[in-house]
Structures are given as C-alpha cells and as structure tokens.
Amino acid sequence: MKYIIGIDVGTTATKVVLYDENGQKVASAQREYPLIQEKMDQAEEDPKLIFDAVQDVIFSLSRKRKITAISWSSQMHSLIGLDGNKELLTNSLTWADNRAKNVVKKAKAEGLAQKIYQQTGMPIHPMAPVYKLFWLKQEKPEIFSEVKYWLGIKEYLIYRLTGKLVEDLSMAAGTGLLNLKTLTWDQELLSQVGITEQALPKLVKSSDVVGSVKEEYRRKLDLDENTKVIAGASDGYLSTIGVGAIDEADFAMNVGTSGAVRCLAKKSVIDKKAQFFCYPADQGYLIGGPVNNGGIVFEWARKVLLGPNESAENFLTLAQSAPVGNRGLIFHPYLGGERAPIWDANARGSFVGLTRSHTKAEMARSVIEGIVFNLYDASHEIIQSAGKPHAIRITGGFVRSDFIRQMLADVYNLPIIAMKNSESGTLAAMFLGRQALGLSRDLSEIRKFVSEEKVYFPDPENVTRYQKILPVYREIENDLAKSYEKLANLQNKLQ
C-alpha cells in the first residue's frame, strides 16, 4: 500500500495525517511548540523547534510504509529572515505579532496602506509581512540589512527538507507583496520596502512537486528517494476547499481559538473599506475575513463566569436557559483586538446594556451571541460583493454544539452544514498530493472525500429577533470604536 502525508503547520502545534492512496485516513500524530510572547505585542516561534516537530510527526507515521508524497497546509503571514548561507537570523514572526501596529497607523495616514490593499488584497493590519518588514527595517536595521532571504514558516520547512526556496501563490498572497493582477512579486512595493525579488522564494503552484527529500532526512525519517515533496498551500485556502466550498455557492467557516469565514470566487474582488482579504490561489480567489475572537473568548467567559473547573457543557447549558437577545444585553467580543470586520488591533471587549436584573445565564449567552454576531459581520461585506451563499459549511471546536450551530443558522438566516471531517486542512493537502501524483485532476473531485454530519435550518422566529438586534450591535460598536485607541493606551499606562 502507498500513502500520502498531509501536514498542517499551526500556530502552536503541527498535525500530520496519514492517508492511503484512496484518500482514507489511516493514522495521525501531533506535536506542540511554544509561542514566544516575552514583550508587548510579540508573538514569535522558533523555526528549528517547528522543524523538529515536523520531523517527529513524519517519522511517527512513515516507518515501514511507502510514502509517495508529503503535502502541506500552513499558517499564514509569518516572516523569517535568513543570511547568505540560508541560516536563521530571526525567529518566525507569526500572524499574531502586532509590533508593527504603529507602522500600519503611519501607512494608513500616508495612504500607503490603502495602496497595498488595492494592489495585493492584503488587509490593513500588522499581521502582514509587508508591515513587519517596514518595522524590522525601522527598529532592527542591523538585522534587516544582514538578511538575504525572506520567507514564511512553510517555505522554511520545505527548504530544510529539499534545499529549495519556493512559495505557492496562496502563501505569497498573504505577504502583502504579491500583485493581484500580475500574480508576481510587486516590484513597486519591494522597492519601497527595500528588498529585491531575489530575496524572496520562487513562485509555484500549490500542487507542484518541489523535489525529493534530501538524503540526510530520507535516512532519518525512513523515506525513500521517490517520496515527493509538494508545495502545498495556506490553511485558509485548504480549509475552504477541504469542506467542499469550491465556489461562491457555499461559504466555509472554521472557528476554533480564532476563526474565519471564506469563499472561493472566480474573480478578484476588492472592498472599498478594505474589510476583507482577497488572495489568489490555484483555483480562483480566496475572499474572506479572519477573526481573532472565537473559542478563546468562550473559554475566558467559562472561567470568569463559572470558574476554571466548570466544563464547557455546563457553560452551554447555562447559556441555553437565557432568552434570545438576553433582554437587550449585548457583548462585543474584542478581547484580543480584532481583524475582520473592524481591523483594529486596539479594539477592546464590552458588555453593553447590563442592568441589575440581568443574570449570569444572560451574560453567558450574550458572550456566545457576540462571537456569532462578529462572525456574521465579518461575512457581511463578502456577501455584498460575492453574493449570498446557499449554505455555510462549518468546522472547528467552537461550533461542535447543536446550540451554537442553530444560533449560526438563525443569525445568518441560512442553512448551516456541520462537517464530519474536522481535519479539512490536511485532507485538502492530501488532495494536492493526489493531483501532483496524477490520481486526481479537477478540484470538484475533492467532494468525494468530504462528508456532511448534519444540516441546521433557520428558525423564523429567532431570525426576526436577531435581525432587530444586529443593527443595534453595529451602532454601538461604531460608537465605541472612537475610544479603542484611548482605552488601549490607558491600559498600557495602568499595567
């Protein structure tokens, strides 16, 4: 039997799934690694630790098996600097690193940020490597001048295994340096940053074969010279096609610690307000909005309202006992700043409308409703531009309960399709491997490997109630937005 390995390189862990050539899951493994957060807004990782984790999980599944391909799904927006010998000069600055926020503020004031969005589809936020490069140039000029190659974490891992520096379109799009029209590195932006095209990886397709594993690692990982390393793609693109959302008819939603709503469009779409991203991929353009505040806010509320030893099930049971809308209690979930839909790293959370008569159950439900309202607003401009989908396909830990799934159906006023397969990223990476090996051709064939668990339909009465609440939620958010920067500065002073 021959096998394909799908690897999902996440922010705090790498998960690997072993599939047979028929696309059936055989086994899986996972290794975690720390996020370095020693300074305000810092969020780095050690690329060597991630490479060690990747080797561990590959070896745990490859022993005495014929591995024909290794394919990748990866976190986006990371930035790593290498010297002339391709040795590490920096850690990996992850998507969660916000130290470039003042660079973004200045770029917005000068009109550069809007220009970057218009040319690349990259939202105006410090997560973007283009802004991290400006920040490094300004704050760490010695390191910036010494770096000869800039790349992301997936590109680094592939380089270590194969010796080749390549980057697929979906990952390159997340740098803020890829031109949407030409699908090449944007020479004007490179010049403004102060780097050349030679400092960046060669652009390839996600299903391209990069090469074979270097002999050193073939021996170490029990692979052979015929094991092909596939370029792979971003977790955003793969978690979308990995649930069968391959056109505008279906949106994909994944909500774990953070979350995102995405769809695959035939043409590029740019929003006048820059509220969603538009990233080219091998098949169309990925349009969507990522949110910081998903299950991480649910966990905060569980611990604060009920206590650290109470279960998520107890919190959900409590929330379900409260009425829809919580008698006018509204929660904005911006506990960790926010990306879509407001793109404000200074945003802060709030309960609004709280009275002495409100109960703990209503506070619990308002937290869940606030997370769902924010996801809906992250989708709103996408729906306006790409059209209303027939359904939304959902995955992730936050959306495992019937209660939250039904709430999504009621808020969106759309059927919600819960997917059986929670590993959509590795499944889609496996599919890219099948394409590279000639076992699959058209993207539509991925639906053969996708399974639905249950469909939830909107409750008309709840839909009516939520449609009355949402405009008030937005109005309050817009009013509070004027004070977010002042609040963030105050909190910094009082720490």
| pTM listed for this prediction | 0.94
**Domain annotation covers residue 426:** no
**Residue 220 and residue 252 in one domain:** no
**Residue 213 and residue 266 in one domain:** no
**Residue 166 and residue 285 in one domain:** no
In this prediction, residue 257 has a pLDDT band, given cuts at 50, 70 and 90, of: confident
**Residue 170 and residue 277 in one domain:** no
**Residue 271 and residue 334 in one domain:** yes
Q: What is the CATH number of the domain that holds 493?
A: 3.30.420.40
**Domain annotation covers residue 292:** yes
Token pair in block for residue 221: 């990982």
Q: Quick: pLDDT tens for 296-338.
A: 999 999 999 999 999 999 999 999 999 999 999 999 999 988 9
**Residue 192 and residue 275 in one domain:** no
Number of domains in the chain: 2
Kind and range of the H or E run holding 26: strand 25-32
**Residue 260 and residue 221 in one domain:** no
**Domain annotation covers residue 425:** no
**Domain annotation covers residue 452:** no
**Domain annotation covers residue 439:** no
Token pair in block for residue 75: 């976190």
**Residue 179 and residue 283 in one domain:** no
Q: Quick: pLDDT tens for 58-86.
A: 999 999 899 999 999 999 999 999 999 99
**Where among 182, 209, 236 does a domain terminate?**
236
Q: Taking the CB of residue 44, how many other CB atoms lie within 10 A of it?
A: 22
**Residue 394 and residue 482 in one domain:** yes
The DSSP code for 449 is: G
**Where among 185, 203, 236 does a domain terminate?**
236
**Domain annotation covers residue 389:** yes
- Enclosing domain of residue 140: 2-236
Mean pLDDT of 74-102: 96
Q: Is the pLDDT of residue 422 over 90?
A: no
Q: Taking the CB of residue 300, how many other CB atoms lie within 10 A of it?
A: 16
**Where among 214, 236, 258 does a domain terminate?**
236
**Domain annotation covers residue 36:** yes
Question: How many residues does the structure list for the chain?
Answer: 495
**Residue 49 and residue 123 in one domain:** yes
**Domain annotation covers residue 414:** yes
Q: Is the pLDDT of residue 226 over 90?
A: yes
- DSSP of 249-285, one letter per residue? TEEEEEESSSEEEEEEESS----TT--SEEEE-SSSE
